[in-house]
Amino acid sequence: MAMLVGVILAVNSAKRIHSFSQTSQKVQEAEDRLEVLRKENEAFKIELKYKESGEFAEKEIRDKLGLVKEGEAIVVIPEDDSSQSTVDSGQSREVPNWKKWKDLFFKS
């Protein structure tokens, strides 16, 4: 009888220890996640502070509307069209496969 009670207590203790271990692991994962969220929150606060500043507003106005301060000049640099012409000329020179085979077998 004492052996049976001892086995039951041992099994019950093992289940509680296992349950405590799982709970401890979940708590650790939650703490890690909380730390990640805190860092993310700090980054968002810094970004918000920057976006509320006049420096951000001025940069957006200059970039999106093309406005300048008095005494400044806007310089517009044209896009390089040579890359487009290279691609177009490469496509016009490409020979279809059937023509390559014809030239291979019937070219004198």
CB 68 within 8 A of CB 74: yes
Nearest Cα to Cα of residue 43 among 31, 32, 33, 51: 51
Proportion of the chain above pLDDT 90, given as a percent: 49
80 or 6: whose pLDDT is higher? 6
Where residue 66 falls (left for φ over 0; alpha for ψ -120 to 50; beta otherwise) is left
- Predicted confidence (pLDDT) per residue in 56-97, tens digit: 988 888 888 878 888 888 777 888 766 555 555 555 678 888
71 burial (CB, 10 Å; 0-12 / 13-18 / 19+) is exposed
- At residue 21, the pLDDT reads 93
> Whats the size of the chain, residue-wise?
108
Written as six digits, the tokens of 25 are 């692991």
- Predicted confidence (pLDDT) per residue in 34-53, tens digit: 999 999 999 999 999 999 99
Tell if the pTM clears 0.75, that is, is over it: no
